[in-house]
Copies of this chain bind each other. A is one copy, B any other.
Amino acid sequence: MIPSKEEVVATYTRVKPFVHQTPVLTSSLLNKLAEAKLYFKCENFQKTGAFKMRGAINAIQQLSEAQKQAGVVTHSSGNFAQALSLAAKNLNVKAYIVMPSNAPQVKKDAVLEYGGIITESEPTLDAREKEANRIQKETGATFIHPSNNTDVILGQGTAAMELLSKHQDLDYILTPVGGGGLIAGTALAAHYGAEKCRVIGGEPYEADDAWRSLQTGKIETNETANTVADGLRTNLGDKNFHIINKLVTEIIRVEETEIINAMRLIWERMKIVVEPSSAVPLAAVLRKKIIFENKKIGIIISGGNVDLKNLPF
């Protein structure tokens, strides 16, 4: 089932008071390079530095009062851990975050700063899931998946809704594809909120599960994911794949060097700090110029949480 237009609209009303309405930036130099008009929706300026705040806020708000009392739990070492922590804090809900024991201290500190309660697990997916399960049972907390959760997906779509409210005549919106929450939410927003706006995903060749899934019509997974775009190493889920399969036009795959080149262009030309995952859509536009020539293209800059001591250029 695809969520209805009413659900999409109601989500924005719910999410809006808790997030920044992030700016849309343009760059005449990048437009020249792409031979198109690019509109960058800057979720790197969002609270916690990524779009994930939107989905987290929506998912917690959709819980019953009893569920809120018991708290929420997730396993993540990335942006969703921070987002769920801050969203929960803003809504007076406890957030239990399972993080792998080898997660960088800076990420643990960020979660603690936003009020998350950290439990460490062995650094395997299996161990993380078991630990999250245990917390669920002991505390009654509700598990919130970072991307395969309809309320999370709906929340992530609000970035595109804001973008379309400013630029209604976009021909395309591009997002990176990792777990699939952002692109699925974006596809819903464009489906109900624009006349003719197609949604396209950008994905590294090194983690091209979404591209392969659209080819075969069923969820494929990544055996390895050796990509600099660390936010895109995860696999799709059934809830977002269902939406992606119906509403996303295409996935464009890009090489690692293209990602790094696009990231440097954004830093140097737009003077903003973005994480590698955020550069994947621009890399896709530059790779397939023939599709995008002279079009109006929205690009969701997914986040700006990056280790300044470990840049890829």
Minimal beta-carbon separation of A79 from chain B (angstroms): 13
Measured CB to CB, the nearest residue on chain B to A29 is B113
Contact A271 B308 (CB under 8 A): no
Contact B313 A268 (CB under 8 A): no
- Residues from 264 to 280 in A contacting B, C-beta threshold 8 Å: 264, 267-268, 270-274
Is A44 engaged at the interface, CB distance under 8 Å to the other chain?
Answer: yes
Is A304 engaged at the interface, CB distance under 8 Å to the other chain?
Answer: yes
How many Å lie between the Cα of A157 and that of B273 in the bound state?
A: 27
Question: Which of B23, B45, B308 contacts A267 (CB under 8 A)?
Answer: B308
Is A311 engaged at the interface, CB distance under 8 Å to the other chain?
Answer: yes
Task: Please indicate the chain B residues that have their CB under 8 angstroms from the CB of A137 in the complex.
Answer: none
How many Å lie between the Cα of A98 and that of B142 in the bound state?
A: 66
Is A202 engaged at the interface, CB distance under 8 Å to the other chain?
Answer: no
Please report A residues at the B interface, Cβ cutoff 8 Å: 23, 25, 44-45, 49, 264, 267-268, 270-274, 304, 308-309, 311, 313
Between A and B, 20 residue pairs with Cβ closer than 8 Å are A23-B23, A25-B45, A44-B271, A45-B270, A45-B271, A49-B271, A264-B308, A267-B273, A267-B308, A268-B273, A268-B308, A271-B274, A271-B304, A272-B272, A272-B273, A273-B273, A308-B311, A308-B313, A309-B313, A311-B311
